[in-house]
Structures are given as C-alpha cells and as structure tokens.
Chains A and B, each alone.
Chain A
Amino acid sequence: MSDILILNGRVVDPASGIDAERDVLLRHGRVAAVEMPGELRAVRGKEIIDAKGMIVAPGLVDVHVHLREPGQTYKESIKTGTEAAAAGGFTSVVAMPNTVPVNDSVSGLEWMLDAARGACVKLFAMPAATFGSLGEEITDYHELARAGAVGFTDDGKPILHDRVMRTALVAAAGIGVPISQHAEDTRLTGGCSMNAGPVAFRLGLRGMTVEAESKIVERDIRLLRDIERHDGLRPHLHVQHVSTAKAMEAIRQAKREGLHVTCEVAPHHFTLTDEAIGDYDTNAKMNPPLRNDADRQAMIAGLLDGTVDCIATDHAPHALFEKEQEFERAPNGITGLETALGLALRVLHQGNGMSISRVIELMSAQPAGILSLAGRGTLSVDSFADVVVFDPAAEWSFDVAKTRSKSRNTPFDGAPMLGRVSYTLSEGRVVFKS
C-alpha cells in the first residue's frame, strides 16, 4: 500500500482539537503525520489528493445500521451497504442484529464480520441482547464480546421485561459495553403506523404516542440508578434514535444525575415532521415515527446543548415492492447513509448555527467514543487512516437513482443537501471517490 498525501485541506479533527490548514500523510493504513502546509512535501513514492477548499475529517462513524445480511440480501448486503456508507463519508458502521437469522451467536457474529462478506469500510456489530431478540433470555455476552461485539441490542424491538433488561445491563456492565435500547413500549403501539396527533387523525391512521418511547427510557434510567446503588456497577445505557422531547428530557436529567446514558438522533428526526407523510408516502414511514415540529425542535436543542451524543442513521433498506404497499402494511425504515452528512450540515450547521467541527464530532469522535472504538473517529497520529474529504460549501440535491444501496426507500430524493463527499478512505484505501 503506497503512501497517500492529502494536501491543502482544512483538517477538522475535533478529538485532537484541530481546525486548521494541515497536510496529512497516510501510511500502512494509519495516519502517519499531520503537519503544517508544506512540511510533508519531501515524502516520496506517494499518491496525492489535493484537498484545496475541502475539509479533511476523520471518517464518519455510524453506530446504527441495518445491512440485511444474512437473510435479506435482496434489500441490502454487507458489500452494498458499506459501499453506501463509503459514499456518505462513513468509515465505520455498526450492524444491528435483526438479520435472518438473528445475530445472536458467536458463529453468526464471526460470519458477519468475516472479510469474505466484502465490507469496504470497517464493520462492527452489535449482536442480539437476548436470544432471537425475543426479550427473554440474554445471550452469551462474554463470548460475543471476545468475538468482537461492541454492544448488545434487540433493535427493532425493545427489551420489555424489567427483569431481563436489568440482567442485560448488569451483564454488559461487567464487560464495559452498552446495552443499546430501541425504546418503544410495544404494548402501547400495536396497530400504529405513525406518530399520534392531528396528522394521524386526519389520515385516519393509528398513532404511536410519545409516551410509548419515554416510558421505556424512564424505566431504563430507573434500572441504571438501581443497579448503581445496589450492585456497585456502572451500566451503560445507549438510547437509540430518540425522537420525542419527553424522552430527550429524561435523558438530559439522567445525565445531570451522573448516570451513564448516551443517545443518538437520526437525521430524519431533526429534519422532517409527520407532515412529510403527505399522502401516505411509505418512504416517510419509520420507527420511531416522524414526530411533530416541537419534537423535531427538541432533537435540535438536544444536539446543540450536548444531550445528544451522536448522530446515527438507522439506515434501514427495504425493497420497492415492500414499500409499495398500503401504508399500514409497509415495513418501517428508510435508507440514510448517503444523506446523513448533507442533512446534518444543512439543518444543524447552516440552519441552526452548529459549527462544522461539532457536526463532525457528533458523527465521528463521539460515536467512536461511545463504543470505545480505538483508533477510530480521529486523525491523530497512529489512528486508522479513516478519512473523509468533503466540500463543505457544495449545495446539491440527493438523487436516489444514484444510490449505492440496493434499496431506494428514502424521503430525501431530490432534497437539498449541504456538503458533498469527494473522497472516503478506509484504513488508507480510497473506498469512495466522487
């Protein structure tokens, strides 16, 4: 592997506190040097990327993607999903376990992480927190962690029983990884296909209340507190795709209290409201659902005040024939890897004044930190040569016809984006070039 020199760019590496013109040298899949402009010119035998006018940032990290392999490769595969990730500037993604079969065993996890699957960026995985994600009996956390698990989740479903959730938190705390919770009290959301409220009433659809989300978050926080007091452990709860002001406030309070809670917000939840469903557009159907504007604003407020730890896409590909169904019957989920950076820069940076550096931090250093992904989410010397080079001023429209994903289920076809990825490098290899 030859050396790569990235010249003339604005290096934004929040983890190192750098936001300035720097040249970057990548060697043997690692960051070899980050120097003042001109100082690396003497390096020989190199490939050069001219990043003039561009931002050079750590490759983005997504702690929540669905790659559909094994079992549903007609929707996506590890190869196509990671190609979509690369196109979106992501160099590390964490695969959720709701594959077919559910990823709940060491052999399943090893199969998924095997190089033969063709991932073009670094693939991590969270296996199921309970066998079959049935919410009854926890999986073997020690063995799975040894095989590479970076956390445990039954995503797509909540861990509903208090006793099981408590056991999971205790077991995960013992090995220092989070339990990542899909916070939905499914006892309150049966038959529901969107957010409860005036839009649902007008469309004649049954709505999920905000309490269905907040009740589980509040329950989980109670369990954390109880475990800290009685077991002397410090469990880590990660709340997935927060979508309601009520759950956000519960997380804010828990953080003030000093409990180990982290959370993620998806770009669609800070960009769209339930009005985006329009006339039953199934590309705007996801779970948790798009909420009202007050909730959307609460997501932005949580991102701005630090309550939100990271942005995660919840990339959830579905085939056209599955989405071309009656709204209530269509599956939940939208793709998101290629639109996340463009939406975050547009809505958070341009629309709400968040610095570009902070946007990058929420999409690289912070998610890497949550899952203790060593050497990821930073451009510090010796870390992995995971880099995204993008034009922060480029305004463009997403064209789903050009997606790298196998699926096209997005509400953002034609939507305006800010910031366009030019290069993505994973461990020193160019995996995307526009």
Chain B
Amino acid sequence: MTSSKMQGEMKAAEYAAGSLLTVAGLPVEEVAAILAATDRMERMAAAERAKILAGRRIALLFYESSTRTRTSFELAAKSLGAMTTLVSDKSSSIEKGESLKDTGLTLRALGAECIILRHANSGAPYLLAKLTGLPVLNAGDGMHEHPSQALLDLRTMLARLPGMSSRLVNAKTLDGVTVVITGDILHSRVARSNAMLLPRLGARVLLCGPAALLPVDALGLGSGVEIERDFDKALQQAQVVMMLRIQRERLAGLELDLADYISRYQLDQERLTARAPEALVMHPGPMIRGLEILGEVADGPNSAIEDQVRHGLGVRTALLARALSVGGFESVTA
C-alpha cells in the first residue's frame, strides 16, 4: 500500500484565503499577481493608496523582535490606511504563558482582520491560521520560512537583473539564472523560502556552506536546488549571490571554526571581482560587516541590499491587500 492515502494531505481549505504561510504551495500565477499588484500600488498616489485598507484592522503579533520586518509590514499597512496594533513579547500584551491560540482568538475578538505573525517556532503561523480562521501572513517562523522575504528578493532580482521585468513572471522567467545562497542555511528561513520559490520560476539555486551549516538534507527542498561546498566555484556560476548572516550564538555546539569560515565563505571585493564581477549581491539583513560580507561589497555597485528593503515595503502592501481581498485581489475569496 502506498502510505500517501493513509497520510494526511495538505488541506489548503483550513486556512483563510489571503494567508501566506509558505511559498511552497504558492502557484506561479499568484506570485505574478502579487508582483503585479506591487507595481500597481507603487504607481498610485499616496492619497489613493491610503484608501485601500482605510478603517481595516491589522494586528502584528511579534514573539521575536525584528525591527526590519516589523517596520516594513507596519509602514506597508499604514500606507494603505489600515489601523495597526503591535503585540510583542516585549509588551505586556502577550500574557505570560497564554497560548498562541488564545492570543489569536483575543485579537480576533478585538476586531483584527488579519494577523502578521513572527514566531520562534517553525509552523506557528499554520496553527494560528487554522485556529482563528483569519488570514495570516508569516513574517518568519523559526527556522522554517520567510515568504514575504522571498517575494521581495524575487522582485529585487527582476528589477536589477538585465532583461528582466516584474511584469513577466512565469515558470521560465529566471531560466539561466543561478542564485548562490551562502552561509548558515541550516538556521535560515530566508534560504528555505528562496530555495523553494526561485526554482519554480526557472532559477537554479546553488546552496553553499560547510556541512555544519548546510546538511545534505537541504536537497529535500526540491528540484532546482543543488549544493556546492566551494564558494569560489559557486560564485563563478552566479548571477545572484545572496549572503546570510552568521549568528555567532548559534555556532556553539557546531563544528565550525570562524576564522576558517571567513577565509572560505566571506564575500570580499577581491573574490567578487575575480569570480563574479557582474553578480548581484544580496543580503536579507541584519548584516554583520566583516564577518560574512565586507562593507566594501555591501556598499558597492553590485549591492542590491537597500533595494531589497525598498521592495519589501512594496511587496508587503500587495500581500496585505491580498490578505484582505482588496486592491485587485477581490477574486482571492471566490
């Protein structure tokens, strides 16, 4: 017997339309629609944009601090005219020991129509979406995913790579593009989301890093994902190189020598010039200059790091409009 029949299947209907929990199941047409809406909203006058979610209530539920992602979502919501409330583990709003379920139900009872969740546990957004029935936007869950980051990274690539356009998004858009992702893949939700999204648009994703930070199990992320341990070899094939932060606190217990890591995997100008002088350099932040990347590269002409931040704001306005079925996303609930 095949075990598939015995096993639970993905029940998409359990989650409200407009939720974005993962990029794994996101159809390419939806990706195209999100990027098209991003374009549309960016072109709008601010006053017009501010009517899209006027009077709507959005809760930001942040169990982990994240200045960048929180501010980005918050500004996106406000630019659409929504009312936002921030509930964070730093505030008193998350009662000691209260379950995610009860916190979610409380927010719903208070009128929240959409919850943006950042959580230290992988999968927490699925739980919240299932239990509240509200659209939930995953703003990073444990070591699992950061879907809006992958979408903003995609938009950044489309804006910066020669011959690309965010108006032409399909399964072949990134044909011939190799994206190298280097660093702590094991703990990175950004790496997972990009590795699951980009190949569906035709990209080849080359994961790079030592075994301690990049186990071969990563190949399970899907087809279009490969492993190359040698950063120089990977760079030579790269149109895009995405550097990930090395979290010193996570190195404890891993067999990793930091000096050795820096010599083998740090992106400096010399390496970039020698191996991939044209490659687009990306970093989801926060960066540790001098560790995984040198300042000269981060601030150099190849860098798209500030673009990423800007595109983040745009993509998140589209995701919020989609979550609440407005701004061209009315069909989502159909």
The residue in A198, A204, A351 that gathers the most chain B C-beta atoms within 10 A of its C-beta is A204
Chain B interface size, as a band, is: 35 or more
B124 sits at the interface (CB 8 A): yes
A197 sits at the interface (CB 8 A): yes
A281 sits at the interface (CB 8 A): yes
> Taking beta carbons and an 8 Å cutoff, which residues of A are in contact with B?
196-205, 207, 271-273, 275-276, 278-281, 284, 293, 296, 321, 324-329, 346-347, 350-351, 411-412, 415-416
Q: Which residues of A contact B121 (CB under 8 A)?
A: 326-329
Residue of B nearest to A296 (CB): B3
Q: Is the CB of A205 within 8 A of B10?
A: no
Whole-angstrom distance between the alpha carbons of A197 and B219 in the complex? 10
Q: Is the CB of A328 within 8 A of B7?
A: no
Partner of B124, one of A199, A326, A350: A326
B218 sits at the interface (CB 8 A): yes
Known: A280-B127, A351-B1. A204 touches B215 (CB 8 A): no
Known: A203-B144, A327-B122. A350 touches B1 (CB 8 A): yes
Q: Is the CB of A415 within 8 A of B10?
A: no
Whole-angstrom distance between the alpha carbons of A326 and B63 in the complex? 13
Interface residues of B in 118-170 (CB under 8 A from A): 119, 121-124, 126-127, 131, 141-145
Q: Is the CB of B6 within 8 A of A271?
A: yes
Whole-angstrom distance between the alpha carbons of A416 and B144 in the complex? 32
Q: Which residues of A contact B123 (CB under 8 A)?
A: 203-205, 279-280, 326-328
Q: Is the CB of A280 within 8 A of B6?
A: no
Q: Is the CB of A275 within 8 A of B1?
A: no
B220 sits at the interface (CB 8 A): yes
Whole-angstrom distance between the alpha carbons of A324 and B143 in the complex? 20
Q: Is the CB of B192 within 8 A of A202?
A: yes
Partner of B8, one of A276, A321, A326: A276
Partner of B215, one of A201, A280, A293, A321: A201
Partner of B7, one of A207, A272, A324: A272
Q: Is the CB of B143 within 8 A of A204?
A: yes
B5 sits at the interface (CB 8 A): yes
Q: Is the CB of A324 within 8 A of B122?
A: no
Known: A284-B8, A327-B121, A416-B6. A201 touches B1 (CB 8 A): no
Q: Is the CB of B217 within 8 A of A201?
A: yes
Q: Which residues of A contact B99 (CB under 8 A)?
A: 321, 324-325
Nearest-neighbour CB distance to chain A for B205, whole angstroms, equals 14
Q: Which residues of B contact A321 (CB under 8 A)?
A: 99, 101
Q: Which residues of B contact A202 (CB under 8 A)?
A: 24, 192, 220-221
Chief secondary structure at chain B's binding surface: loop
Whole-angstrom distance between the alpha carbons of A350 and B1 in the complex? 8
Nearest-neighbour CB distance to chain A for B211, whole angstroms, equals 13
Q: Which residues of B contact A196 (CB under 8 A)?
A: 217
Task: Please name the 9 residue pairs, one residue from A and one from B, whose CB atoms are nearest each other, closest first.
Answer: A198-B220, A204-B144, A280-B123, A204-B143, A326-B121, A204-B122, A201-B217, A351-B1, A276-B7
Nearest-neighbour CB distance to chain B for A75, whole angstroms, equals 17
B70 sits at the interface (CB 8 A): no
CB-defined A-B contacts under 8 Å, sample of 25: A197-B217, A198-B217, A198-B218, A198-B220, A202-B192, A203-B144, A204-B122, A204-B123, A204-B142, A204-B145, A207-B217, A271-B3, A272-B3, A273-B7, A275-B3, A275-B7, A276-B7, A278-B10, A279-B10, A279-B126, A321-B101, A325-B127, A327-B127, A350-B1, A412-B6
Q: Which residues of B contact A346 (CB under 8 A)?
A: 1
Q: Is the CB of A201 within 8 A of B221?
A: yes
Residue of A nearest to B15 (CB): A279
Whole-angstrom distance between the alpha carbons of A102 and B171 in the complex? 58
Residue of A nearest to B253 (CB): A190
Whole-angstrom distance between the alpha carbons of A350 and B2 in the complex? 12
Known: A204-B145, A280-B127, A328-B122. A197 touches B8 (CB 8 A): no
Q: Is the CB of A281 within 8 A of B8?
A: yes
Whole-angstrom distance between the alpha carbons of A206 and B110 in the complex? 35
Residue of B nearest to A205 (CB): B122
Q: Is the CB of A198 within 8 A of B1?
A: no
Q: Which residues of B contact A278 (CB under 8 A)?
A: 7-10
Known: A204-B122, A204-B144, A325-B100. A198 touches B189 (CB 8 A): no
